[in-house]
Amino acid sequence: MALHPRTKKEKIGGVGRPAIKWVISALFLIGFNISGFAAYHHKGEIDSAYFLEAYPDKAGTKLDSCAQCHTGGSYDSGGKAVALGSCQWCHYKYGYDAIGNIDDTLNPYGMAYKANGRSSIALRKIEGQDSDADGYSNKTELDALRFPGDGNDDLSKVPAPFRVFSRQLIENLPRHTQLLLMNAHKSTDFYAKYTGVSMEEILQAAGALATATHINVYAPDGFSQYHPMNPDPNPLFYHVRGAYPAAAYHYREAADTAKNKDGWCDYGRVAGMNLENNSRIENKDGLKLMLAYQRDTQYLDAGTLAPNNKLDGEGPFRVVPPQKKPGPPDQRSTARDQRVIWPFDPDADHNAGYSIRTATFVKVEPLPAGTTDIDMREAGWKYVDEGKIVVYGAIHPGPTITFKLDALIETLDSCGAKTYKNLLYKKLLVFEAYAAQKLAKWGNYKAARSILQKGILEHVDGCSTNGGGIDKDDWVTDCELQKKIYWDLHELIVLFGIIV
């Protein structure tokens, strides 16, 4: 899914509202590229083409996105600051009709790109600058897949381990179905049968560490919800592990929106299940905190962003918490007439309000030492379109380590002999990297990390430490290549530290 948030009228390919200029849209991947993810862009905009002309190898990475040149922002709403990501901020500040000032949406890198002529040549001109003043040149950050316009994203930051789950992968996990009441605070209550997987199951599949204490689930509009791993006495904290109390079915015609225009509960398909009032709802595997992809046997419609920057829809995934305190559907809090069978109860369990619609990220806390978080305002919409969800944080870094070791070997092996002091040094570095790769595959992470630290790092550290020059014990003579290898090693060493 591209970072560009779409409304129901503005679809991929530019059909609908006028496309916003100056947006380099695409995807967000946590720190590095993975094959199979393709960007898409606003119809008629030219800047993404210029970027890929200058840096074709960055196609499909997080740099091929709005956040490359655009920044987020915030506005005041009733005395409360509302923070928006780069795409939402561009919609808000520049407008769907493009009548705003585009400069209000650009980060320092975007401003430098514009000032130098808005072309692939302009991008090359500003490579030596440090647009975000974080101590690294734009070129160095681009090579390392860091945003050159974001001072909080530099080579010293190590993205947390992550797994991307497609709906197909999730459907291969043990299926969980539950019929339950979704009790809302201000909107219509409803009964529904959701199908998906338990949250505990998907965390296990992602390799959640034993040290994990809780998760935070995010929607692409930035809304989030906290869930402790184990049961918590706080009635608002819906836990991951374990079952929830069985619930009863509560029906009154006065509450039924299909039978009464003043009703407040949608019984939907449940009304045809011949359930009796106050009868126990039988769920084969009990009630659990779950990640749903179907509601009443139908796949969830993908969420969209309305022009008022509000989320509309609930799919492709929704986190569904059962009531910890089972009860009937109560009247809306906003209803004038509370003289009903089930008036609004402020102490009732309004679980619907704690159910994340269009869930895209599950952060497993605490984040491992040395790793960084995702800017949630810049992430998510890509995965909505692709029907995927990301689990990251305190999970086993094995898959990430494997990927990055493969990339390190490719970097070392693909460089010509002239970038090394001696061809023998190249062969030695490649051999050491292969040895670390084998040890990691065998699960000997401590030995693999030791090889990286003692066998490779000390021979590629001069340009990044000790005043920034090539040391006499450095084997790589190209400073830019040295820096890339050094910071790739830094990421790997941090990742190994999670499990060593």
411 phi, psi to nearest 5 deg? -65, -50
Question: Structural domain boundaries of the chain?
Answer: 47-156, 167-393, 398-499
**If you compute the radius of gyration of the chain from its CA atoms, what whole number of angstroms results?**
26
Spatial separation of the C-alpha atoms in residues 499 and 497, rounded to whole Å: 5
What integer best gives the mean pLDDT of the chain? 85
Q: Which residues pair with 180 in a beta bridge?
A: 192
CA atoms within 13 A on the CB side of 158: 25
Q: Is the pLDDT of residue 373 over 90?
A: no
Rounded mean pLDDT of 217-224? 86
Of 116, 114, 151, nearest in space to 132 by CA? 151
pLDDT at 177: 97
**Residue 215 and residue 202: Cα distance in Å, rounded?**
12
Q: Select the more confidently predicted residue: 194 or 48.
A: 194
CA distance 350 to 324: 10
Given pLDDT bands bounded at 50, 70 and 90, which one contains residue 135?
A: confident
Residue 382: CB partners within 8 Å, gap ≥ 6? 1, 2, 3, 26, 27, 28, 37
Long-range contacts at 339-348 (CB < 8 A, ≥ 24 apart): 340/254, 340/255, 340/264, 341/252, 341/254, 341/255, 342/250, 342/252, 342/255, 348/183
Distance CA 25, CA 11 (A): 14
Q: Provide mean pLDDT across the span 241-260.
A: 96
Q: How far apart (Å, rounded) are the C-alpha atoms in residues 25 and 171? A: 29
Is 381:1 a contact under the CB 8 Å cutoff? yes
**What are the distances in angstroms from CA 245 to CA 281, 308, 355?**
11, 38, 17
Cβ(197)–Cβ(173) under 8 Å?
yes
Confidence of residue 85 (pLDDT cuts 50, 70, 90): low
Separation between Cα atoms, residue 307 and residue 16, nearest integer Å: 13
Return the beta strands (E) in 79-170 as ranges: 80-84, 158-159, 162-166
- Which residues make beta-bridge pairs with 218? 224, 361
* C-alpha to C-alpha distances, 84 to 47, 90, 105, 279, 308, nearest whole angstrom: 22, 9, 11, 45, 12
Nearest to 293 by CA among 225, 231, 378, 202: 202
The rounded percent of the chain whose pLDDT value lies above 70 is 87
Which residues, in sequence order, are CB contacts of 467 under 8 Å at separation 6+? none
φ/ψ of 315, rounded to 5, equals: -105, -175
Between 70 and 43, the more confident residue is 70
Query: What is the pairing mode between strands 290-295 and 388-393?
Result: unpaired
pLDDT of res. 476 = 93
How does residue 328 score in pLDDT terms, banded at 50, 70 and 90? very high
In the chain, how many H helices and how many E strands? 12, 17
Q: Mean pLDDT across the stretch 244-251? A: 96
d(CA 146, CA 254): 57
Provide mean pLDDT across the span 328-343: 96
Cβ atoms of 189 and 181 within 8 Å: the answer is yes
Q: How confident is the model at residue 376 (pLDDT cuts 50, 70, 90)?
A: low
Which of the given ranges, 21-25, 45-49, 101-105, 473-477, has the highest pLDDT on average?
Answer: 473-477
Average pLDDT over residues 87-92: 72
**Amino acid in position 484:** K
Q: Write down the pTM of the prediction.
A: 0.79
Which of 30-34, 93-97, 341-345, 353-357 shows the lowest per-residue confidence on average (mean pLDDT)?
A: 30-34
Q: Is the pLDDT of residue 22 over 50?
A: no
According to the model, what pLDDT value does residue 306 have?
77
Say yes or no to pLDDT of 170 above 70.
Answer: yes
CA 330/CA 346 separation, integer angstroms: 10
Say how many Å lie between the first and final Cα of the chain, rounded. 35
pLDDT for the residue numbered 215: 96
Computed from CA positions of residues 482, 485, 486, 487, in that sequence, does the dihedral angle turn out positive or negative?
A: positive
CA 114 to chain CA centroid, nearest Å: 29
The whole-number pLDDT of residue 105 equals 87
Residue 37 has pLDDT above 50, yes or no: no
What are 186-201's pLDDT values in tens digits? Answer: 999 999 999 999 999 9
Residue 403 has pLDDT above 50, yes or no: yes
Residues near 241 by Cβ (< 8 Å), separated by ≥ 6?
200, 229, 230, 231
Residue indicated by tokens 């450095």: 474
- Supply 385's token pair: 């379109």
What confidence category does residue 20 fall into, taking pLDDT thresholds of 50, 70 and 90? very low
The number of angstroms, rounded, from the C-alpha of 75 to the middle of its chain's C-alpha atoms is 23
Q: Tell me, what's the pLDDT at 14?
A: 27
pLDDT band at 392 (very low <50, low <70, confident <90, very high): very high
Helix (H, G, I), strand (E, B) or coil at 145: coil
pLDDT(21) > 60:
no
Q: Is residue 394's pLDDT more than 80?
A: yes
Q: Which residue has 């929830």 as its token pair?
A: 244
* Burial class, 254, CB count within 10 angstroms (exposed 0-12 / middle 13-18 / buried 19+): middle
pLDDT tops 90 at residue 24: no
* Strand-pair partners of 192: 180
**Residue 58: half-sphere exposure toward Cβ, Cα within 13 Å:** 26
How would residue 378 be classed by pLDDT, with cut points 50, 70 and 90?
low
Shortest CA distance to 9 belongs to which of 93, 95, 96? 96
pLDDT attached to residue 469: 82
Segment 265-302, tens digit of pLDDT: 999 888 778 889 999 999 999 999 999 999 999 999 99
d(C-alpha 112, C-alpha 148), whole Å: 11
List, in sequence order, every residue forming a beta bridge with 295; answer none if it has no partner. Answer: 194, 298
28-57 exposure pattern, b = at least 16 Cβ within 10 A, e = fewer: bbbbbbeeebebbbbeebebbebbbebbee
